[in-house]
Structure 1
Amino acid sequence: MPKAQKYKIYLLLVFVMAAWGFNVIATKILVTTFPTLTITSIRVFTAAISVFLILSIFKMVRLPNKKELRYILAAGFFNVVCHHFFLSMGLAKTTASNGGLILGLGPLLSTIVAFLFLKSRVTIPKIVGIILGFSGVAFIVASGNGGLSLRGISNGDLFVFLSIFTQSYSFVLIKKISNTLDPRLMTGYMLLFGSIVLFFISLFAEPGGLKKIPHGSLEVWMIFLASAVIATAIGHMIYNSAIGKVGVTESAIFINLNPFFALVGAVLFLGEKISSPQILGFLFILFGVLFGSGALEEFLHQSRLKKMPAHRGNVKNL
């Protein structure tokens, strides 16, 4: 692949990470303005419609077969219903900065899930990464009162952790069916299915929630559209496309920027103050993801492979 094209993909990935990081702030605003589950179901449904509109332009929409439908329903339950349910409930009870940092565990949890369910190999660097990552979360969730204390741990932090864990498990299901069903099309079906389930849950959990939806300001509705269309719909499509072009490992490295943008957004838009334990926790998670996800090992391995042919050529010329 030409370097210019690769750099273009990298820039798009940075854009996606910024969108996802700021989306934590957007979700925080939405769930504190509207009934949590009601607005979440509408936001996810809007994202689903956006995905199908985009895919229809490129004539990529088709009906799934029975096997694909089973995976869509299962992955949609974990990736959309559980993930967005726990994330929305969590952000309603914790700070956006905490939520963004804990979401940075995504690649690390994916490694653990892959080991448990796909029997992938676990190396010493990955074990070190897992320890570093969870140590970082411990610093973050135990700093709720400005100092390290178990009293700082909130239900919101736990819910955010569950949201990223359920999403990580769904990646196993997506991987198993990705050979026959395009991940971008699967994303659309999962969002559609998940939004319908979340809507019915909201009817029971938040009676009369729909009546409060029209009361939002124009500014809040602009945030809603940006969250649904840019972050959720377009963001996931760009990321899935990047995986197919530069690989899972190189794409996953950019996820480390997600909590950084969430922290920046929390300071700029919500006026939250970042504590020393949060900064320390961010650094632990950053290095934990680099080691635990296998990204660092793969990068070093690929670097050695690229150097080997040139080295051998030099040996022959001697």
Structure 2
Amino acid sequence: MKQWKIYTMLLLVMFFWGANVPILKYLVAEVPPVTLTGFRILVAGIVVILILWKMKLIRKPFKHEWKYIFLGTITNVVGHHYFLNMGLSITSGTHGGLILGTGPILTAISAAIILKYFPTKVQWIGLLLGLAGLSLAVLVGSETQGANIGDFYVFLAIFAQVLSYMVISKAARTLNPLLMTAYMMLIGAPIIILISFIQEPGAILAFGETTQKFWWLFIASAIVCTAIGHLMYNYAVGQAGPTKAAIFMNFNPLFAMILSAIFLGEILNYRHFLGLILIVAGVMLGSGAAEDMWKKHKVKKE
């Protein structure tokens, strides 16, 4: 596939994921967050498995792969989606989007600790810039009641997802990440639903009190943003490489901010935009994307 088509695909995925933040913010106001998450992920998992079945990529995992699927389920599905929806039920879509934008930085730090890959000085500068942007946009003078605990939940969500990347990278030696994603969703969704029965008893009845608008957004979030979005992203990363894909991650918080302001009526101020600039700069430096681009530029000049 041509490069411009891959880049268009990555940009579209970032739009899907950015749009998913205000969509989830709306959905969790209608149905309690844990109950909503369980059934949304279940629908996404069914769609993914059907697509992979059509692509003839379904197979039974080997015995040694089940431990990675279990760890990935706990971090990527249960941990990430539980805390994300809990956080968005309290904080704003704008704050949620900005925090999710720190994912590439956290990935670099986690790789240093878990995979023994130590960041360069430039990457450490990127980390500091990213944390400064996060602090400026989120932690200083929040106007949303209860936002701090909600922001913390969203941070735990992205941290859990980053940890899952370490698991998925090891499992990918023998197990297709797309197939692993399907298994994680189908196993993780019932776990979240079980948690919802304990934490939110009777909340499933709230689905019967929703509107047609709710169901259209629920389908968009589950099928387009989560199922198709993950499949497209994994394919595009395989074509463009993780470095270029990391650059496109910068659009995620940007779309989340803009769409939250448009559809949720959230107020943006200078702290949000300055924080976004610092986070984007931090991602470019902290993920190693800037250094890789500079090295390639020097090679071309030589």
TM-score range, shorter chain: over 0.9
Q: Does structure 2 conserve the Cα–Cα contact (< 8 Å) formed by 1:126 and 1:292?
A: yes
Within a 5 Å distance, the mapping from 1:246-285 to structure 2 comes to: 246-285=240-279
1:76 Cα shift?
1.1
Corresponding residue SS for 2:249: helix
- Unpaired runs of at least 5, structure 2: none
Distance 1:115 1:270 in 2: 38
Within a 5 Å distance, the mapping from 1:50-199 to structure 2 comes to: 50-145=47-142, 154-199=148-193
2:25 matches 1:28: yes
1:302 Cα shift?
2.2
Distance 1:260 1:153 in 2: 19
Corresponding residue SS for 1:181: coil
Percent identity of equivalent pairs: 42
Q: Does structure 2 conserve the Cα–Cα contact (< 8 Å) formed by 1:141 and 1:152?
A: no
Distance 2:60 2:27 in 1: 33
The equivalent position to 2:209 in structure 1, one of 215, 233, 243, is: 215
Calculate the TM-score normalised by the size of structure 1: 0.92
Whichever of the two has the greater Rg, that structure is: 1
Distance 2:266 2:289 in 1: 31
Distance 1:169 1:215 in 2: 37
Q: Does structure 2 conserve the Cα–Cα contact (< 8 Å) formed by 1:79 and 1:166?
A: yes
1:124 Cα shift?
0.7
Give the AA of the match of 2:174. Answer: T
Distance 2:162 2:300 in 1: 31
- Unpaired runs of at least 5, structure 1: 309-318
Distance 2:58 2:227 in 1: 15
The equivalent position to 1:302 in structure 2, one of 292, 296, 300, is: 296
Corresponding residue SS for 1:154: helix
1:154 Cα shift?
1.1
- 1:11 alignment counterpart: 8
Distance 1:136 1:17 in 2: 20
Give the AA of the match of 1:82. Answer: G
Q: Does structure 1 conserve the Cα–Cα contact (< 8 Å) formed by 2:91 and 2:150?
A: yes
Corresponding residue SS for 2:266: coil
Distance 1:307 1:59 in 2: 44
Q: Residues 46 and 288 (structure 1 numbering): CA distance in 2 closer, same or farther, change over 3 Å?
A: same
2:235 matches 1:238: no
Distance 2:6 2:110 in 1: 27
Give a deviation string over 1:173-194, Cα, whole Å, max 9, x none: 0000101111111111111111
Q: Does structure 2 conserve the Cα–Cα contact (< 8 Å) formed by 1:13 and 1:242?
A: yes
1:212 Cα shift?
1.4
2:224 matches 1:227: no
Give the AA of the match of 2:77. Answer: V
Q: Does structure 1 conserve the Cα–Cα contact (< 8 Å) formed by 2:130 and 2:282?
A: yes
Distance 1:140 1:195 in 2: 32
Give the AA of the match of 1:247. Answer: G
Calculate the TM-score normalised by the size of structure 2: 0.97
1:153 Cα shift?
5.8
